[in-house]
Amino acid sequence: MKNSRGLSLIELLAVIIVVSVVIMPLMFSLSGNFRVNYRMINRSAASLISASAVQGFDTIPFDDLSSNDSFDVATSYHMFNRDNCGLLVDETAFQTSEAICTMIFDMKMIERTFTNPEHFEVYLYPYFLTDAAEKTAFIDAAIADGLDARITDAMEERIEIIDTEYPLDLLNITVFILYDTETDGAIVRNGTLTEDWVE
């Protein structure tokens, strides 16, 4: 051995840096995979909860949902979240509408729950409007209120225009769950609510 001095500090640092450069991307990749996995499970949970939320709102008496002293869904949209279930008037003989509403926003799936009121919202709005101008004004007002574009797009797509008084009591429902703030990932599920016609 011609050189038995060993490694200098610079050489040692260079080796550490090279090893770090190799290991760091692998670690980031691993943690990235964990994040994607976590996000995917959040999405699955949000999907199940949104479907159950539509079904849950269907169990609330239609009259309570469509109109009371605080709101009138025939003329404008109404947004529910876990903070404003109290607006629902108690007209049922069993659990109150407010209690059912609270149960909906407390729902849990795969150990996930969406408790932030801004991340889990339910929008009720008319199924029919009488002319295109009325629909445009409705959507414009919703956009001006700062609603997420995914919600106003759903409203745009789902509100039907008819030129006479609508024959049925129908409401559109759109459930919005923001399951990942980092990527702005959200589930938007739409449905229709109507009065029970068979008992």
Partner 1 sequence: MKNTKGFTLFEVLVAISVGSILIVTLMSLLTTVLLTRNQVDYTNRLDFAVYEVNQTMADRFERLGYKSILDLVEQEMVTAAAGDYVFLLTREYEMAVDDEGMIQPTQEGYKEEYILLLDIAADNLYLGPRDAFILEGMLDNPETDTRENHIISSPRMNFYAGSTITLTCLENHNPSIASVIDLNSDCAHAFLEFDLEISYTLANGNALSPKRYVSTLFY
44 binds partner 1 (CB under 8 A): yes
**The binder of partner 1 chosen from 14, 17, 18, 30 (CB under 8 A):** 30
CB closer to partner 1 out of 34 and 140 = 34
Cβ-contact 176, 186 below 8 angstroms: yes
Which region, left, alpha or beta, applies to residue 6 given φ > 0 means left and ψ of -120 to 50 means alpha?
Answer: left
Q: How many angstroms separate the CA atoms of 63 and 83, rounded?
A: 21
102 binds partner 1 (CB under 8 A): no
Q: Does 94 interact with partner 1 (rule: CB under 8 A)? A: yes
Token pair 């789902």 in the structure block, residue: 158
Residue 100 lies near partner 1 (rule: CB under 8 A): yes
Q: Assess 69 for contact with partner 1 (CB under 8 A).
A: no
- Under the binding rule (CB under 8 A), the answer on residue 110 touching partner 1 is yes
57 versus 138: smaller Cβ distance to partner 1: 57
Task: Put the strands of the sheet holding 78-80 in their side by side order.
Answer: 78-80, 120-126, 170-180, 185-194
Select from 109, 129, 147, 186 the one that contacts partner 1 (CB under 8 A): 109
Is residue 167 a contact point for partner 1 (CB under 8 A)? Answer: no
Closest approach, Cβ 27 to partner 1, in A, equals: 8
Query: CA torsion, points 65, 69, 71, 76, in degrees to nearest 10?
Result: 110
Report how far residue 41's alpha carbon sits from residue 51's, in angstroms, rounded to the nearest whole number: 16
DSSP letter at 67 equals B
List residues near partner 1 by CB under 8 A.
1-2, 4, 30, 34, 37, 41, 44-45, 48, 51-52, 55-56, 58-59, 92-95, 100, 103-104, 106-111, 198-199
